[in-house]
């Protein structure tokens, strides 16, 4: 059983899949939706341990959704991470002010995400929780003061994203190959059944033809027998009539 359940609010199916795969490797199950409106509908009857929220969404945008999430009693305590390409310090400050637990870039380092989730899910006392979590999340988000470590993390994040995307593509190709193999197998089985049906029909046709010939021959033999018997009876009657005529003639 997964140690947590996440809700991903992201209109890009590729980004949802990539984040879901990264979460899966951290033993976290997830469900993805394309709009904030869909998310609020789900949250009416489902519970989640963490929410990842894109900024640019069709309909309600990320900050509007965040403000509503933090304003509702049944969702205000769920940690919400802005999952976005935005990385300016002003954006991060605005996200904090609205109640976001942090900002996670879409080209996130897998190890950094793992540390962030561990910080979130392992019991961590307040108020250290907030600062520790933000430090873990935002260490790679600020780009205004790049240093070699931050650059390396960004590159690692991009490599992680590419790796997951490649794995997803590889899996889709494998599923496509399996589907093609399955279709080919089904077509082969269908052709075999059709061949067997044709052979069965051909065999039945031959048997019917043989039976028809046999019946015709048998009927011809019976007819010949009847004709011969009729001729014999006719000849007998002729003989009897001739004998009667000869008798009266005397």
Whole-number pLDDT of residue 127: 40
| pLDDT tens-place string over residues 56-67 | 899 999 999 999
pLDDT of 203 above 70: yes
- Residue 231 parent element (H or E): helix 148-249
Whole-number pLDDT of residue 60: 92
| pLDDT tens-place string over residues 212-243 | 888 888 877 777 777 777 777 777 777 777 77
Question: pTM score, two decimals?
Answer: 0.55
* β partners of residue 82: 53, 103
| pLDDT tens-place string over residues 176-201 | 888 888 888 888 888 888 888 888 88
The domains found in the chain, sorted by start residue, are 4-145 (3.40.50.2300)
Residue 70 and residue 96 in contact, taking contact as beta carbons nearer than 8 Å: no
pLDDT of 151 above 60: no
Q: How confident is the model at residue 93 (pLDDT cuts 50, 70, 90)?
A: confident
- The rounded mean pLDDT for the chain is 77
Query: 3-state DSSP call for residue 24?
Result: helix
Whole-number pLDDT of residue 34: 93
Give the percent of the chain with pLDDT over 70.
74
Measured CA to CA, the distance from residue 36 to residue 34 in angstroms comes to 7
pLDDT of 100 above 70: yes
**Nearest-CA neighbor of 158 among 85, 230, 225, 102?**
85
Q: Is the dihedral of CA 26, 28, 33, 35 positive or negative?
A: negative
């Amino acid at each position: 059983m997964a140690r947590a359940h996440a809700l991903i609010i992201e209109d890009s199916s590729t980004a949802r899949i990539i984040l879901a795969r990264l979460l899966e490797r951290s033993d976290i199950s997830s469900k993805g939706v394309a709009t904030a409106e869909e998310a609020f509908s789900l949250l009416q009857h489902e519970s989640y341990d963490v929410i990842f929220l894109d900024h640019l969404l069709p309909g309600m945008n990320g900050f509007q959704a965040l403000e509503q999430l933090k304003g509702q009693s049944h969702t205000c305590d769920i940690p919400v991470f802005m999952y976005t390409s935005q990385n300016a310090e002003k954006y991060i400050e605005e996200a904090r002010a609205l109640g976001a637990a942090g900002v996670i870039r879409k080209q996130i380092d897998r190890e950094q995400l793992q540390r962030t989730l561990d910080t979130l899910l392992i019991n961590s006392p307040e108020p250290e929780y907030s600062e520790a979590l933000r430090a873990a999340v935002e260490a790679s988000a600020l780009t205004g003061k790049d240093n070699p470590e931050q650059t390396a993390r960004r590159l690692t994040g991009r490599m992680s994203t590419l790796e997951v995307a490649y794995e997803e593509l590889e899996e889709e190709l494998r599923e496509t190959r399996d589907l093609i193999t399955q279709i080919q197998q089904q077509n082969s089985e269908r052709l075999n059944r059709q061949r067997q049906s044709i052979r069965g029909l051909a065999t039945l046709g031959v048997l019917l033809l043989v039976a028809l010939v046999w019946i015709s021959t048998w009927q011809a033999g019976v007819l010949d027998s009847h004709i011969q018997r009729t001729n014999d009876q006719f000849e007998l009657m002729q003989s009897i009539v001739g004998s009667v005529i000869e008798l009266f003639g005397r």
